[in-house]
Amino acid sequence: MEIKKAKKLSGSLAIPGDKSISHRAIMFGSLAEGTTRITNFLEGADCLSTISCFQKMGIDIENTSGEILVHGKGLHGLCAPTETLDVGNSGTTTRLISGILAGQDFVSELTGDASIQKRPMKRIMTPLSQMGADIISINGNGCAPLKISGKKLHAIHYNSPVASAQVKSCVLLAGMYSDGITRVTEPVLSRNHTEIMLHYFGADVTSEGTTASIKPDPSLYGREILVPGDISSAAYFIAAGLLVPNSEILLKNVGINPTRDGILRVCKAMGAEGEPTADLLIRSSSLHGTTVEGAIIPTLIDELPMIAVMAAFAEGTTVIRDAQELRVKESDRIQVMTENLQKMGADIQATEDGMIIHGGKPLHGAEIDSHLDHRVAMSFAVAGLLCERTLSIKNGECVNISYPEFYSDLYSLAE
Ligand code: S3P
């Protein structure tokens, strides 16, 4: 992909559906009785991997004009897959589906692409094993491919060492197939889409502080789900609108769940059910450095590559810390962002758990390697809008993981 400097950005954009919520709608719809109708589903490669896994377990999922219909078969209605489940590039699919598979009465295997085969799965194998699950890493390296022999599970109270919604969701889903109340406590609250949506489907899920609990054997019922726009996809346009001079853009229908709004901090929990959404009006602004650390990190974990680019264009120093999780995402995002921003002339240093960026240096186009990481590619596309020399992104098409229309949406706003 080649990105050229933009004079300004203007117009409005409907942000595509939320990736986390789209995955969960397919999974919970499959485990519910009756039909779940999903509108504004994200048809990115990751969510299509989730669909194909559940289809391989006998769930009828229809993709009709703009809507997905999931004909669920209830909590115990999945069939043994006749082939290995392919999760593609999707960590969410891998970790959530493992919690479900651990409680089935069949054996299954799952694997994915080269990136997924390097990502840490011990973080789910540990709690699942404590619940009595039989889950092994076939190559013995704590990564996929995984073999899971389903069992009746025991309820546990898991103290997770990481603030990870994927770990939390995995344990809660396994808890539905256990013999008591399963609890997960995390060091800092991570995104709570699983808790909200499972409750909506009829499960008895409660949350108190950073502990979520679920009662076993719920009856889940098919639901209507309107997927809000993905704030993690909106982040690139928020950044672009702020950074490119003379811009004003309207981003429509953005999900602003408080566990995801670290990038905005505009919304706080009001006890309402469902996912709050908003239209965001973004204007060019002169940005300055800041420190991003502590409890805000899980609420903007996927936006940190974009924040690193914003920091490189902002005046002064930005420090990002407590974000060691970036090292085990689709790429080592600390290393990849640092290397690529340095190629563009930025003053940035990697630290063990983040980055230190002295912003405001003039940046130039360069050849950027996305390392097949969709969030890296999109972050640098925004950087390219601000550079005199063309910026080219190797393997830029990996945006199809979470945002297939990304480049055309970006160009639709640029002059
Ligand atoms: C996700 C949780 C986060 C996030 C990922 C999606 C989810 O991962 O980075 O893109 O849908 O639960 P972790 O749980 O590993 O933090």
Atom 13 of ligand 1, nearest CA residue: 164
Q: Does residue 165 have its Cβ closer than 6 Å to ligand 1? A: yes
Element (H, E) at 126: helix 122-130
d(C-alpha 365, C-alpha 360), whole Å:
15
Question: Can you give the pLDDT at residue 283?
Answer: 73
Q: How many helices (H) and strands (E) does the chain have?
A: 11, 22
C-alpha dist (Å) from residue 323 to 73, 292, 293, 326: 39, 9, 8, 6
CA of 191 to the centre of ligand 1 (A): 8
Copy the structure tokens of residue 239. 């950044």
Q: With contact defined as beta carbons under 8 Å apart, do 96 and 168 qualify?
A: no
Tell me which of 19, 47, 186, 191 to substitute to probe ligand 1's pocket, judged by most ligand atoms within 8 Å of the beta carbon: 191
Q: What is the pLDDT of residue 112?
A: 98
User: Tokens 């954009």 sit at which residue?
Assistant: 13
Helical axes 374-384 vs 406-413, angle rounded to 10°: 20
Rounded distance from Cα 92 to ligand 1 centre (Å): 6
- Position in ligand 1 atom list of the atom nearest CA 166: 14
State which ligand 1 atom lies nearest to the alpha carbon of 96: 12
At 115, list the tokens.
């990136």
Q: Which residue type is seen at 222? A: G
**DSSP conformational letter for 270:** -
Question: pLDDT by residue for the chain (415 residues), tens digit each?
Answer: 899 999 999 999 999 999 999 999 999 999 999 999 999 999 999 999 999 999 999 999 999 877 999 999 999 999 999 999 999 999 999 999 999 999 999 999 999 999 999 999 999 999 999 999 999 999 999 999 999 999 999 999 999 999 999 999 999 999 999 999 999 999 999 999 999 999 999 999 999 999 999 999 999 999 999 899 999 999 999 889 888 999 998 999 899 888 999 887 532 332 323 455 578 667 787 899 999 999 999 999 999 999 999 999 999 999 999 999 999 999 999 999 999 999 999 999 999 999 999 999 999 999 999 999 999 999 999 999 999 899 999 999 999 999 999 999 999 999 8
What is the pLDDT at residue 272?
29
- pLDDT for res 206: 97
Angle formed at CA 167 by CA 299 and CA 115, multiple of 5 degrees: 90
**pLDDT at position 277, please?**
57
Residue nearest to atom 15 of ligand 1 (CA): 164
Instruction: Tell me the CB-side half-sphere exposure of residue 315, using CA atoms within 13 A.
Output: 4
Identify which of 46, 94, 166, 378 to mutate to test ligand 1's pocket (most ligand atoms within 8 A of the CB).
166
Cα 287 from Cα 319, distance rounded (Å): 14
| Tokens 């995402």 found at | 329
User: Which DSSP state fits 227?
Assistant: P
* Cα(168) to centroid(ligand 1), Å: 10
Name 68's bridge partners. Answer: 38, 63
Would residue 371 be called left, alpha or beta, if left means φ above 0 and alpha means ψ between -120 and 50 degrees?
A: left
Dihedral angle computed from the Cα positions of residues 378, 227, 229 and 161, in that order, rounded to the nearest 10 degrees: -60
The residue behind tokens 């039909």 is 35
In angstroms, what is the span from residue 315 Cα to ligand 1's centroid? Answer: 30
H or E segment at 184? strand 182-185
- Largest Cα–Cα distance of the chain, in whole Å? 62
User: How far does the centroid of ligand 1 lie from the alpha carbon of residue 245, in Å?
Assistant: 32
Nearest ligand 1 atom to alpha carbon 232: 10
**Enzyme catalytic residues:** 302
What ranges in 209-328 are assigned the alpha helix state H? 231-243, 304-313
- Cβ(191) – ligand 1 distance below 6 Å: yes
Contact between residue 319 and residue 293 where contact means Cβ atoms under 8 Å apart:
yes
Instruction: Report the chain's terminal Cα–Cα distance, integer Å.
Output: 17
pLDDT value of position 266: 30
Could you identify the atom of ligand 1 that is nearest to the CA of residue 163? 16
Whether 172 and 184 have beta carbons less than 8 Å apart is answered as yes
Q: Candidates 22, 89, 92: which one to mutate for ligand 1, based on the most atoms within 8 Å of Cβ?
A: 92
- Choose among 224, 149, 212: nearest CA to 182: 212
pLDDT at 244: 92
Residue 332 confidence (pLDDT): 98
